Each structure stands twice: as structure tokens, then as C-alpha cells.
Structure 1
Amino acid sequence: IVGEICGEIVAPNAEDVDHEGPTVANGRVTYASKTKENLDATTKAGLMGMTMPRKYGGLNFPAVPYMIAADMVSRADAGFENLWGLQDCVETIYEFADEDQKSRYIPRVCQGETMSMDLTEPDAGSDLQAVMLKATYNEKDGYWYLNGVKRFITNGDSDLHLVLARSEEGTRDGRGLSMFIYDKRNGGVTVRRIENKMGIKGSPTCELVFKNAKAELCGDRKLGLIKYVMALMNGARLGIAAQSVGISQAAYNEALAYAKERRQFGKAIIEFPAVAEILSLMKAKLDASRALLYETTRFVDIYKAFDDIAKERKLTPEERTEQKTFSKLADSFTPLSKGMSSEFANQNAYDCIQVHGGSGFMKDYTCERLYRDAR
């Protein structure tokens, strides 16, 4: 199903989405028309909330087949993967929110509502402990209210947001930060602008203004950065790795097809050793990236399976040891997979243009979009 939707809908729409892109008016984002078509197709096919339990309306898939799907979506359009793949954020709600929040929010994601993670601010990029978006508790209604600005937020006008904000007054480090769930239905957040990016143009990257935005605490206070963002970012790194593998595959496919079709000196250019070597190296990098991604995701699946078992009963000493082993493997291999796959995606996109020669520099060919998306 994923392959059919990607091949027949998402991939043919990719060029139009790249040209049209999203727009912002009156503080709200409108997706490109073909992006709406993509989201509608994946939602109707039940491909939202893939890893969530069936009791919430999900497919109860392990992470490995989900990453295989993300690989295919990215191959079709890396920009759309940014929107579709943000369903990953629901994992944070599943792992750390209370049962009431899970029952209210997870089914909505499984039914097709979109998500975002609102972390970055103008003065807090990689240094997230510098986040200053203020969260104030109102004892009368039991809700928190958020005020401040977030920047570079992927899919910033989503239906549900996970927001990192400063809940502890007078603090300036990571220990004063908590994680909140903001529901767009409650209002209070507007999109000030969309960034004009080099690539991934179908995905709106937004600057958000929070004005008394009503929100709920997710999990415990003070653990927003220390615990929840760390877990959230591990999922995001796997998503970037899958996106990179998809771009690598698309770049290899384009280069291989062109090398077979383009003829010089009376033969196809794939028959020239220099071109054949480029293609061989591209394939090796692609296969290495994919193998590392899937094996890393398997580590994640195993330790998360033990986490779920631990919610039902106490783990045996042997199970606890195995859980710790795979948790450490996942923590080590996740950044490695993201780093290696994204570097190889850039190299393969570059080599795809190289195989195309001068034509690769022209917008008539897909490879120039792949190069921009890889960056």
C-alpha cells in the first residue's frame, strides 16, 4: 500500500509541491494543493499512527516496518516525509503522558491529524537549555499558558504540538524546562512567517508566536529537556536517517536510469568505467545506510518491547539485562545512523548530478531537487 501511494501519488506530485510550496495568511498555513492530496491518501490508507496500539486506532506496527515505509515516502518526496513522519511525535505522548491524554490525543493522530515538535527559539538552537518560552500555571482552571516565540518549527501550524517551555521561574538551565501539549483547537498560537528554504519546500518551516496559548503538562515538571526531548530526538534522528536513505535511493535511481539512457561515443555512458565506478559507490553507500538504519531500528524495537512488558509485569533479571543492552545499542547507533546516512545522501545527490553532467544543473531533471533536499 505504501509503495503504491508513493509511486502513484506522492512521487508524481513532488515537482508541483516543490514549485508551489505552502503559504501563510492571517497567521495560518495553507499546504500546497498536492500536499493536501498526499496527506488525504495516506490518511485514508490508515498510514497515520502506524506504531500506536490498536486500542488507540493505530496499526500496532514495530518501528522497523514503519522506517521501511518512511524510507519509501522519502524516496518519493523528502519534503512530504517531514509532514507524514512527524507522527513520530505521538510516541512521546504514548510513553510519557497520562492515560487521559493518551485516550484524547493518540486517536486523533491515528485519524490523520498532524503534529509538530516546538523546540527551537531565536536564541536557543542546538543549545536547548537556553529555551525561554514561558509557561505559567493557572490554578483556577488547572491549565498552563504559554507565551513567547518559537523559530524553525517544522509543520508549525499542525493540529497538535509538543512544546518545550520554561515552567520554573528564575531558572536558566535545562532543569527548569518542561514538556507541554498544545492543541490548535484552543487557539493562542499564530504563524508569523514561513522560512524560504533551499529544499524540502513542501514542508512549512514556521516562526510561531505564543500568546496565552492554553496547554497541558506532558509527564512531570522539569523533565522536558532532560528526559522527554532526549527520547523525542532519538525518534527524530531515526526519521532523518530514513529520509536520507530515501533520498539516496532516489538519487541512485535517477543516476542509473540516465546512465543507461544517455549515449556518447556510440554507447551508453554506464559502459564507461568512470561512470560505472560512481554508480557502484553510490549503491554501496545506499546499501550501507539502509542496513544500518534497519538494524538500529531493530535495537529500538527490542528495548521498547521490554518497556511495554514492564508496564504489565515486573521484568526478570535476564530481561532487564537484555533491555539495558539494547537500550545502550539504540542510544549509540541512532546518532551514528543519522550522521552516516545524511552524509551519504549528500554525496549520492552530488554524484547523481555528476552522472547527469551539464543536464544535472538544469531544473528539467529531478537530481537538482534531490540535491537541495539532501542539504
Structure 2
Amino acid sequence: MPDRAPQQVDRLLPTDEARDLISLVRDIAQREIAPRAAEEEDAGRFPRDVFTLLSRSGLLGLPYDADYGGGDQPYEVYLQVLEELAAARLTVGLGVSVHTLASYALATHGTKEQRAEHLPAMLGGGLLGAYCLSEPASGSDAAALRTRAVRDGDDWVITGTKAWITHGGVADFYTVMARTGGEGPRGITAFLVPGGAEGLSAAAPERKMGMKGSPTAQVHLDGVRVPDARRVGEEGQGFAIALAALDSGRLGIAACAIGLAQAALDEALAYAAERRQFGRPIADFQGLRFLLADMATQIEAGRALYLAAARLRDAGRPFARQAAMAKLHCTDAAMKVTTDAVQILGGYGYTADFPVERYMREAKVLQIVEGTNQIQRMVIARHLAGPETR
């Protein structure tokens, strides 16, 4: 059975421009993304043409400066765009979030000359980015990364392996964190590496339980030479840039999780209205009605949480704690809602004839990426109670 169009969520948007933007996104999602989602995910096909369309439509640089090709949209609006895209296909919503994450370092810490040279193509010129922090031996302990950049005249030579890279092998640029100094977070620097750089290659994509249309791969850097003009920020500033990017990126994951959960609820509601047992629709039975009510409540609570964090960010106020809370709650909610959607559909929910089994498989990764939910709890606790004592 084909995926259903996502429910038209009644959104509170700050401007007429934002309302027109959401209408555009819904139109693209329902015409170009949702109808292909099930078939392409099953086949493991990456929808590069969709990202090209999104770029041409001005949707790959929404939260960034219009002077450099961005959309000048507040995070409050950008995240609701992500939710709409993820409800149609998580590969697309998450892909836009990762591209935004990959663009963050240059957009916020690049020089005026760097931004003028690179950002227009990154934000509206059809390019697609990847963010390279994790490594095979450093995931949650990201500051232990081993990829090294060594100065050679006016260039840097980068050697190492990055792991779990979304868009690995298909990205046009990689924002790479590499060690330029001593051990620990202060020895890490950020670089903008072209996708076609000599010495850069990607391994075969990981074989995953979900998100099969989104390539995730190790990226190998074997003596990749980049000019110092592609160093982003000061030497040793890379880890701080990476963490700041993740604060914003976690809001993107939260919005994608709510989009996925909304799609699962929509499917469960439609099925419950159509499926009849004991002479009436199963939506009439109290046990199932309570389950649907709980699913809807978790979604609304998650949406309110990520939007509250986004408004803090838009106001220039600290939001790291709220971003961790949003990522934690929204991704846990997506896992619960998609699992309950499978339960509502019963045996049919366990088959690939309906999309809810795919939604459940996809939801799991959202509890892991951009900081596991155990890391989010650590972040929240540090904000509440201070650093752990040794």
C-alpha cells in the first residue's frame, strides 16, 4: 500500500512568507517525495534529484544569510520545514538537516572571503554536504578523534578515517574535524574539504536496518591536501565549532523525529477508521482510542519542545539544554509512536505492504545520531547539576 500524504498540521507561523514556504514544501513533499519513498527505500536508492530540486527551490539554506544564498528564515520556521519533509520521507528530511549541519562551520565561523567564495554554491547551487566528526574509535568521545592535519607550507595534509558519515561518497563537500595540535578538544581544527579531493574516498555504504536510501559510509582521507584558505575558524577552535553545530543539529533531528511520528500516527488513524472488527471500526474501541490519544499527545509535546528551543535560539539566548531535551524527548517519542502504530495495524503492520514497519525501523537511528540519547541525558544533567566530580 503506498504511503499516505502527511496530515496538514495546523502550524502557527510568524509571517505570510513562512506560510507560503510551508505550502511550497507540502506541495513538493506530496508530489515529488512521498509517492517514491517506499519503493526507493526498499531498493536503497538515494534521491539526489530531490535534493537538487530542493536546492533550486531555495530549501537547502533556509536558516542562513540571504547575502550568501540562504533563506534568512528563523529556526522556528526552518524546523517546521524539516518536519514536513521527514513526514514524507525521513531520508530527505534528515538529509537536509545534515546538509545544514555541514554548512554551519563556514556560515558562522568562515571569513567574509570564505563565505563569499563557497556559501552560494553550498546553500543554493546544488551542492550537498556531509559532516565528519565521528571516527571508528571515537563516537560519543568525539574529542578523542585521531584524524590528523599536518601543516605543509600553505597547505594542510589530512590523514585519517571518519565513520558513520551521512552522504558519505555522494557529498560534494565535507566539513572535517581533524587534529592539528595536542590531545583533547583544544587540538582540533575544522576544514572544508571538496568531495572530489585527491586522496578522499568512501567505503561501501553500511548495511542498515532502516534509512536504506540514505548512504552512511566511512570516509577515508589519505594524504588529502587542502589549502589553508579552507581552514574554518582558528586553529584549535574546531571542537567548539563542532559542538555548537550539534546544538543546532539536534533540533533538526528532533523536528525530523516528530515528522516521522506524525506520519505513523496518520497511517494508524486511517487504518483504524477503515478496519472493522466485531461489526464496527476498530477506532471505536476504547483501548485503541486511548493509544491514539497518547501517540498524539507525545507528538504535540515534542513539537512544542523543539519549537520552544528554536525560539530561544532565534532570540540569541542559550538553548543547548533545551536542544538536548528536544532531541531526547522527540526521538524517544518517535520510537514509541512508530512501535504503537505497528501494534494498531496488527499483522498488517508487520508487513511491508504498509509503511509503519519502515517508520519503526527508521525511528531507531534517531535515538543514536548526533549524540545518543544517553549523551543527551548527560548534557541535560550537566546544565542542571554542573560537571561530574572526579
* TM-score bracket, shorter-length normalisation: 0.7 to 0.9
Corresponding residue for residue 13 of structure 1: 36
- Is residue 341 from structure 1 mapped to residue 319 from structure 2 by the alignment? no
C-alpha deviation, 1:188, in angstroms: 2.2
C-alpha deviation, 1:149, in angstroms: 1.0
- Is residue 367 from structure 1 mapped to residue 381 from structure 2 by the alignment? no
- Given residue 164 of structure 1, which amino acid in structure 2 is its aligned partner? M
Corresponding residue for residue 167 of structure 1: 180
For the Cα contact (< 8 Å) 1:353–1:367, is it kept in 2? yes
- Taking the aligned partners of 1:54 and 1:224, their CA distance within structure 2 comes to 25
- Given residue 246 of structure 1, which amino acid in structure 2 is its aligned partner? G
- Taking the aligned partners of 2:232 and 2:78, their CA distance within structure 1 comes to 25
C-alpha deviation, 1:129, in angstroms: 1.5
C-alpha deviation, 1:183, in angstroms: 1.2
Corresponding residue for residue 297 of structure 2: 284
The DSSP-based 3-state class of the residue aligned with 1:60 is coil
For the Cα contact (< 8 Å) 1:86–1:114, is it kept in 2? no
Question: So what's the TM-score if we normalise by structure 2?
Answer: 0.84
C-alpha deviation, 1:40, in angstroms: 2.7
Deviates more, 1:47-56 or 1:117-126: 47-56
C-alpha deviation, 1:44, in angstroms: 2.4
For the Cα contact (< 8 Å) 2:189–2:236, is it kept in 1? yes
- Taking the aligned partners of 2:52 and 2:219, their CA distance within structure 1 comes to 25
- Is residue 151 from structure 1 mapped to residue 140 from structure 2 by the alignment? no
For the Cα contact (< 8 Å) 1:79–1:373, is it kept in 2? no
For the Cα contact (< 8 Å) 1:163–1:181, is it kept in 2? yes
Equivalent position to 1:201, from 198, 212, 224: 212
Corresponding residue for residue 307 of structure 1: none
C-alpha deviation, 1:353, in angstroms: 0.4
- Given residue 224 of structure 1, which amino acid in structure 2 is its aligned partner? G
Corresponding residue for residue 320 of structure 1: none
For the Cα contact (< 8 Å) 2:343–2:349, is it kept in 1? yes
For the Cα contact (< 8 Å) 2:90–2:256, is it kept in 1? yes
- Given residue 335 of structure 2, which amino acid in structure 1 is its aligned partner? N
- Is residue 223 from structure 1 mapped to residue 212 from structure 2 by the alignment? no
- Is residue 191 from structure 1 mapped to residue 191 from structure 2 by the alignment? no
- Taking the aligned partners of 1:289 and 1:85, their CA distance within structure 2 comes to 17
Give a deviation string over 1:242-261, Cα, whole Å, max 9, x none. Answer: 11111110011010000001
C-alpha deviation, 1:97, in angstroms: 1.1
- Is residue 213 from structure 1 mapped to residue 227 from structure 2 by the alignment? no
For the Cα contact (< 8 Å) 2:97–2:253, is it kept in 1? no
1:1-375 aligned within 5 A: 1-22=24-45, 32=46, 35-88=47-100, 89-110=102-123, 111-139=125-153, 142-157=154-169, 158-168=171-181, 171-215=182-226, 216-225=230-239, 227-303=240-316, 326-327=317-318, 330-375=319-364
Structure 2 unmatched ranges of 5 or more? 1-23, 365-390
Give a deviation string over 1:41-68, Cα, whole Å, max 9, x none. Answer: 2122221211222211222111111101
C-alpha deviation, 1:240, in angstroms: 0.8
C-alpha deviation, 1:90, in angstroms: 1.5
The DSSP-based 3-state class of the residue aligned with 1:194 is coil
The DSSP-based 3-state class of the residue aligned with 1:213 is strand
Count of residue pairs brought into register by the alignment:
335
- Taking the aligned partners of 1:207 and 1:358, their CA distance within structure 2 comes to 37
C-alpha deviation, 1:138, in angstroms: 1.4
C-alpha deviation, 1:78, in angstroms: 0.7
- Taking the aligned partners of 1:370 and 1:221, their CA distance within structure 2 comes to 42
The DSSP-based 3-state class of the residue aligned with 1:210 is strand
- Taking the aligned partners of 1:154 and 1:121, their CA distance within structure 2 comes to 13
- Taking the aligned partners of 1:37 and 1:153, their CA distance within structure 2 comes to 20
Give a deviation string over 1:269-326, Cα, whole Å, max 9, x none. Answer: 00000110100000000100011111111111110xxxxxxxxxxxxxxxxxxxxxx2
Give a deviation string over 1:120-174, Cα, whole Å, max 9, x none. Answer: 11111111111011101111xx121111111111112311111111111xx2222
- Taking the aligned partners of 1:290 and 1:86, their CA distance within structure 2 comes to 20
- Given residue 69 of structure 2, which amino acid in structure 1 is its aligned partner? G
C-alpha deviation, 1:197, in angstroms: 0.6
For the Cα contact (< 8 Å) 2:188–2:235, is it kept in 1? yes
- Taking the aligned partners of 1:40 and 1:114, their CA distance within structure 2 comes to 9
Structure 1 unmatched ranges of 5 or more? 23-31, 304-325
C-alpha deviation, 1:333, in angstroms: 0.4
Once superposed, what is the RMSD of the aligned Cα atoms? 1.2
For the Cα contact (< 8 Å) 1:118–1:156, is it kept in 2? no
